[in-house]
Amino acid sequence: MRRNAAVVGLRSGEQPNGALGANFNGDPSMMTWAQLREAEATWVRGFAAMPEFDEQEPAAHRAIKTLLEAGRRDLRTVLSLKFPYFPRDGHDRIPRPGTPEMDADLRRVDAVLSVVMDQVDILVIGNEPFIECPEDDWTNGAINDFYETIARHVIDYRTRNFPNGGKTVLHMGALNHLDEPGKWVNSGTDRWMRFVRETPEIAGTDIHPHVAAPDGARAYLDYVLPRLGDKRFLVTEFSLVHLWKDHLEDPVSTAYADEYEIPRDTPVWQVIRNALRDPFPKERWYAFLRTSPWFENNKHYLTDQMAEFRATGRLAVATYGIGQDEAMSGADFNAESTPWLLNSVYASATIRPGPDGSAVPNYAWLPEFKALQHS
């Protein structure tokens, strides 16, 4: 596999500079090693939800197992530790330090660290903390107390077991919706950034700019860069998914409707649902997207966004969605759904497999992803 000059030859613990990798979130079944070779990917990222380790050994966990295998295949790796305290799941607060709930999370962390420390290249403490936490705990100090406790625990573990530092670099992650400052930028995010900046063992923060306009990530950079000091940032998820969602109720183009003999008032979401229920031939899916101005006019988003991230001189690694996972591919897709599947480099759920049974790439993203490995 050809290697990106931005990531080859890193010394133990050294940070990359502007790399682009593949993200599978929590479901590595969305990708194959053959796809990563075709895309010339050099980095892979996934997350692991901590409660899963009450029932499963970390070494057998599908995300961790995949990342360890990726390392053996000479790929660089990022693991995000996810602490899901969603109110929708009945959580009314995030654990407080010193409580049995906090102690349980620390035991889970220890179990994971025993498997991944000095194995993965980057460990991100948190996934999307402000989304995965009751809103009441954003500004009362509780979210910061929790994640700072986890971070110090991880730092202490690394210091005890790898006094020379080892290869695993630590980041805090990830901040969301920084383009909505009235709600999502608050005393909790300010303290988050201060902890990142003032803790020597933390290399930087992660951000997840899922935005509704091509320039939407600028608000994220405007917030984190002045608060990072001399540190770097990760972007382990990013996309124009909210722009795609804004167009789900648009009618398809006249050209597409006439070519495929469907009513001209057929909404975009209906076409996506039809493809999920009975995947399209490649040519039809491509025609649907190419005749949709909201998509076709943004087909260079990946290149343009990476250029903006890299121009800061502070990007460590960004990772982009590699495939369409089970959560994206339900046949009940509707006008209220979030169209994550339109971001994916490979379209396994909406395009029929190729002659060899492999997933077919989205026409827009794969060429740009590959080119960005060498730019």
Asked whether residue 373 is domain-assigned, the answer is no
Domain assignment present for 348: no
Q: Is residue 229 part of a domain?
A: yes
CA dihedral (222, 172, 328, 35) in degrees, to 10, reads: 100
**Which two three-digit tokens encode residue 138?**
């954003």
- pLDDT digits 0-9 by tens, 55-101: 999 999 999 999 999 999 999 999 999 999 999 999 999 999 999 99
Tell me the mean pLDDT in the region 123-133.
98
Distance from chain centroid for Cα 251? 30
Helix (H) or strand (E) holding 44: strand 43-49
d(CA 374, CA 67): 23
* Parent domain of 314: 19-240+299-324
DSSP letters spanning 57-79? -GGG-HHHHHHHHHHHTT-EEEE
Find, among 28, 9, 32, 37, the residue nearest to 79 by Cα: 28
Q: Is 56 a domain residue?
A: yes
**Residue 307 placed within a domain:** yes
CA distance linking residue 164 with residue 207, whole number of Å: 28
For residue 15, pLDDT beyond 80: no
Tokens of 148: 């700072």
Within-domain flag for 340: no
Helix 62-72 to helix 100-116 angle, to the nearest 10 degrees?
A: 30
Q: Token pair 């000091």 is at which residue?
A: 229
Assigned domain for 11 exists: no
233 three-state secondary structure: strand
pLDDT band at 14 (very low <50, low <70, confident <90, very high): low
Q: What is residue 205's three-state secondary structure?
A: strand
Tell me the pLDDT band of 221, cut-offs 50, 70 and 90: very high
Q: Has residue 201 been placed in a domain?
A: yes
For position 145, which CATH number holds?
A: 3.20.20.80
168 and 200 in contact (C-beta within 8 Å)? no
Q: Which two tokens stand for residue 4?
A: 């990106």
Contact 20, 320 (CB under 8 A): yes
Give dist(CA 275, CA 111) in Å, integer: 41
Round the CA-based radius of gyration of the chain to a whole number and report it.
21
Q: How many CB atoms lie within 10 A of CB 336?
A: 9
Q: What pLDDT, on a 0 to 100 scale, did the predictor assign at position 114? A: 98
Q: How many domains does the chain have?
A: 1
Q: 318-371, pLDDT tens digit by residue? A: 999 999 987 777 779 999 999 999 999 999 999 999 999 999 999 999 999 999
Count Cβ atoms below 10 Å from residue 119 Cβ, excluding itself: 17
pTM: 0.95
- The Cα–Cα gap between 220 and 215 comes to 10
Residue 208 · residue 132 · CB < 8 Å: no
Residue range 196-212, pLDDT digits in tens: 999 999 999 999 999 99
Q: H or E segment at 82? A: strand 76-82
Beta-carbon count within 10 A of 103 CB: 12
Q: Residue 300: phi, psi to the nearest 5?
A: -100, 15
